[in-house]
Amino acid sequence: MQTRLNNMNMAYSDEGQGRPLLLVHGFPLSRQLWAPQLRGLAGSARVIAPDLRGHGESEALSGPYSMDLLADDCAALLDHLGVTAPALVCGLSMGGYVAFAFYRKYGARAAGLIFAATKAGADSPEGKAGREKNAALAQEKGAAAIAQAMLPKMLAPQSYAARPEVVAQARAMMEGTSVAGVVGALLGMRDRPDSTPTLAHINKPTLVLHGADDQLIPSKEGEAIAAGIKGATLKLIPGAGHLLNLEQPQAFNAAVNGFLQSL
Ligand code: MLT
């Protein structure tokens, strides 16, 4: 589905009924990431998954896309859908950075938080330089060059080696991202604030999910988020890398379902 908000066309999926569950994808992906959750969780929640600006089928306005701006787009989508009840907000990787921003700006609209394959800290100086290098690479060679560089690290080694269908799904999402989207998100992530000070202020039920074999954001980052948030639960998912929800959908959905029931 498509709507117009914040001066752009935004594409989204909206399936099922019940407590709103907002799923925010990572970089440079799309709502296709959440296909196993749209299928598997729509029986127990109203699953809402946007394509962030510049990604998937949403419009690619020029960036930078600050994490606050991406959170504003998510809040505007909830408004458009008439969602007034607090939502369970789940973000994977860059989506997790957006979830932190959403919590800071719209905390009353969050019933709980799920941080998947993400981290609280800001980019180091080397990390910021890497963002700029990748933005230049995308401008020169397109999103496929970014996909080529990132893909081996996006999945657990065993998924990358033995699950060609998962590799193909990830590659298609990455290659489908517009250059403006890649650059806008890279510069937004470069400039994102450190969310470590936010951890101690989070007073909503929180679940932290991390692939045990995440090569892009190591699981110690998920452990640090869980350690910093009072009462948070941490689940490491075996046999999964960075795209844990796609690599191990049953384990991921079971964890989210259990959390939904506990709210
Ligand atoms: C993501 O998967 O969303 C990004 O790789 C996260 C990042 O680059 O920091």
Output the pLDDT for position 252.
98
**How far is residue 251's CA from residue 249's CA, in Å, rounded to a whole number?**
6
All structural domains of the chain, each given as residue ranges with its CATH number in brackets, are 2-262 (3.40.50.1820)
Instruction: Report the candidate in 240, 228, 258 with the shortest Cα–Cα distance to residue 93.
Output: 240
216 lines ligand 1 (CB under 6 A): yes
The closest-lying atom of ligand 1 relative to the alpha carbon of residue 216 is: 5
Output the pLDDT for position 149.
94
Return the number of other C-beta atoms located less than 10 Å from residue 165's C-beta. Answer: 7
Output the pLDDT for position 90.
99
Ligand 1 mean position, distance from CA 108 (Å): 26
Output the pLDDT for position 56.
98
189 lines ligand 1 (CB under 6 A): yes
138 lines ligand 1 (CB under 6 A): no
* Residue 186 backbone class (left: φ over 0; alpha: ψ -120 to 50; beta: rest): alpha
| Spans in the chain with pLDDT lower than 50 | none
Output the pLDDT for position 247.
98
The closest-lying atom of ligand 1 relative to the alpha carbon of residue 96 is: 3
Output the pLDDT for position 24.
99
Convert the pLDDT of each residue in 94-108 to its tens digit.
999 999 999 999 999
27 lines ligand 1 (CB under 6 A): yes
33 lines ligand 1 (CB under 6 A): no
The closest-lying atom of ligand 1 relative to the alpha carbon of residue 123 is: 9
Single-letter residue type at 45: A
Ligand 1 mean position, distance from CA 123 (Å): 11
Convert the pLDDT of each residue in 155-187 to its tens digit.
999 999 999 999 999 999 999 999 999 999 999
Q: List the residue whose alpha carbon is closest to atom 7 of ligand 1.
A: 94
Ligand 1 mean position, distance from CA 212 (Å): 17
The beta-strand segments (E) located in 26-70 are: 46-50
Instruction: Report the candidate in 235, 230, 238, 226 with the shortest Cα–Cα distance to residue 255.
Output: 235
CB 215 within 8 A of CB 90: no
20 lines ligand 1 (CB under 6 A): no
Output the pLDDT for position 176.
96
Ligand 1 mean position, distance from CA 55 (Å): 13
Distant-in-sequence, close-in-space partners of 69: CB < 8 Å, separation ≥ 6: 53, 188
